[in-house]
Amino acid sequence: MLRLAAGPSAASRLGLLALLGASLGAGCKSPRTSALPENPTWFQRPAWALRVAERRPLTAPSEVQGEDHERGQPTVDAKNRRLFVGSSDRGLYALRAEDLSTIWRFQTASFVQCEPLYDEAEDTVYFGSNDGALYKVKAHDGSLLWRFSTNAEVARKPVVAGGIAYFINANDTAVAVDATTGKLRWSYHRTPAYGMEIAGHAGVTLHEDKVITAFSDGHVIALGANNGKEVWAYDLSAEAESSGGEEPVRYLDSDATPVLARTREASAAFVASYEGGVFALDTETGSLLWRREEARGVTELALWEEPAHAPRNGGPAVPARRMLLGSSGVTGLWAFSLEDGRPLWRQPLPEGGISRPVAWSGALFLSSTRYGLFLLSPRDGSVIDGIDTGNGFAMAPAAHGQRAFVMSNQGVLFALQLQPPGANGSGPEGLLTQGLAGR
> What does the pLDDT look like over 247-269, one tens digit per residue?
555 567 889 999 999 999 899 99
Q: Which range of residues forms the domain containing residue 336?
A: 195-310+318-349
Task: Please report, for the chain, how many H helices and E strands are present, in that order.
Answer: 2, 32
Domain harbouring 286, CATH code: 2.40.128.630
Say if 229 falls within a structural domain: yes
Ordered strands of the 372-376 beta sheet: 358-360, 363-368, 372-376, 383-387
Q: Are 415 and 403 in contact (CB under 8 A)?
A: yes
Neighbours of 318 (CB within 10 A): 17
What is the distance between the alpha carbons of residues 335 and 348, in angstroms, rounded to a whole number? 12
For residue 366, pLDDT beyond 90: yes
Q: For residue 242, give every residue at least 6 positions away whose Cβ sits within 8 Å of its Cβ, in sequence order, or none.
A: none
2 vs 14: CA distance, rounded Å: 14
Contacts of 26 (CB under 8 A, 6+ apart): 348, 350
Please check the confidence at residue 422 and state whether its pLDDT lies above 70: no
Query: What average pLDDT does the segment 373-380 reach?
Result: 93
Give the pLDDT band of residue 6 (cuts 50, 70, 90): very low
Contact (Cβ atoms closer than 8 angstroms) between residue 303 and residue 357? no
- Whether 107 has a pLDDT exceeding 90, the answer reads yes
pLDDT exceeds cutoff 80 at 101: yes
**214 belongs to a structural domain:** yes
Q: Would 2 be classed as within a structural domain? A: no
CA angle 215, 76, 329 (to 5 degrees): 40
The percentage of the chain sitting over the pLDDT mark of 70, rounded to a whole number, equals: 80
d(CA 106, CA 91): 5
**Number of residues assigned to the chain:** 439
Number of domains in the chain: 1
Question: Is 295's pLDDT higher than 70?
Answer: yes
**Out of 58-72, 212-226, 331-345, which region has the weakest mean confidence (pLDDT)?**
58-72
Give the mean pLDDT of the chain.
Answer: 84
Rounded to whole angstroms, the Cα distance separating 116 from 379 reads 30
20 within a domain of the structure (yes/no): no
pLDDT at 241: 58
Query: Is residue 233 in some structural domain?
Result: yes
pLDDT at 14 exceeding the cut of 60: no
pLDDT at 23 over 70: no
pLDDT for the residue 1: 27
Q: Is residue 168 part of a domain?
A: no
In a domain, 290, yes or no: yes
Contact 127, 135 (CB under 8 A): yes
pTM of the model: 0.86
Residue 248 lies in a domain: yes
Q: Are the C-beta atoms of residues 303 and 322 closer than 8 Å to each other?
A: yes
pLDDT per residue as tens digits for the range 136-195: 999 999 999 999 999 999 999 999 999 999 999 999 999 999 999 999 999 999 987 665
